Structure 1
Amino acid sequence: MGKVIMNSDDFGYSRGVNYGIIDAYQLGILTSTTLMANMPGFDHAVSLKKAFPNLGVGVHLTLTCGQPLLTNVGTLTEGRLFRSLSFYREGFEIDCDELYQEWNAQIQKVYRAGIVPTHLDSHHHTHSFGKNQEVVVALAQKYDLPVRGNFQLANKVQHTTYFEPLFDEVGVDDRKDSLLKVDLHVYLEGLLRKLRRTESTEVMCHAAYLDQSLYRQSSFLYPRLNQVEFLIHSDFAKEVQGDRHIELITYGDL
Structure 2
Amino acid sequence: MKKLIINADDFGYSRAINYGIIDCFQHGVLSSATFMANMPGAEHAADLAKQNPGLGVGVHLVLTCGEPILKDHQTIVDVHGRFRKLSFYESAFNIELAEVYDEWKAQIERFLSFGIKPTHLDSHHHINTYKGIKDVFCRLAEEYQLPVRNNMDLPSHLRHPNRFEYYVEKVLKDEVSIANAFKDADTVEVMCHPGYLDKAVMGGSSYTYPRLDELELLTSNVVKEVLNNCKDVELATFKSL
For Structure 1 versus Structure 2, the TM-score category normalised by the shorter chain is over 0.9
Q: What is the CA distance between 1:20 and its match in structure 2?
A: 0.4
Is 1:192 matched up with 2:193?
Answer: no
Higher alpha-carbon deviation: 189-198 or 138-147: 189-198
**Residue 175 of structure 2 contacts residue 227 of structure 2 at CA under 8 Å; is this kept in 1?**
no
Q: 1:235 aligns with which of 215, 222, 231?
A: 222
State how 1:1-254 maps to structure 2 within 5 Å: 1-79=1-79, 80-167=81-168, 170=169, 188=174, 190-197=176-183, 198-254=185-241
Tell me the distance in 2 between the aligned counterparts of 1:201 and 1:114: 28
Q: What is the CA distance between 1:4 and its match in structure 2?
A: 0.6
- Output one character per residue of 1:15-52: Cα deviation in whole Å (capped at 9) or x when no partner: 00000000000011100000000000001001100110
Q: Percent of aligned positions with the same letter in both sequences?
A: 45
Provide the TM-score with structure 2 as the length reference: 0.94
Equivalent residue pairs, number: 239
Partner amino acid, structure 1, of 2:33: T
Tell me the distance in 2 between the aligned counterparts of 1:247 and 1:69: 37
Q: What is the CA distance between 1:218 and its match in structure 2?
A: 0.8
Tell me the distance in 2 between the aligned counterparts of 1:195 and 1:34: 22
Secondary structure in structure 2 of the residue aligned to 1:240:
helix
Partner amino acid, structure 1, of 2:166: P
Q: Indicate how the Cα distance of structure 1 residues 93 and 211 shifts in structure 2: closer, same or farther if over 3 A, else same.
A: same
Provide the TM-score with structure 1 as the length reference: 0.90
- Output one character per residue of 1:135-162: Cα deviation in whole Å (capped at 9) or x when no partner: 0100000000011111123534111000
Tell me the distance in 2 between the aligned counterparts of 1:244 and 1:29: 15
Q: What is the CA distance between 1:247 and its match in structure 2?
A: 1.1
Structure 2 unaligned spans of 5+: none
Partner amino acid, structure 1, of 2:30: L
Backbone CA RMSD of aligned residues? 1.7
Greater fraction helix: 1
**Residue 175 of structure 2 contacts residue 230 of structure 2 at CA under 8 Å; is this kept in 1?**
no
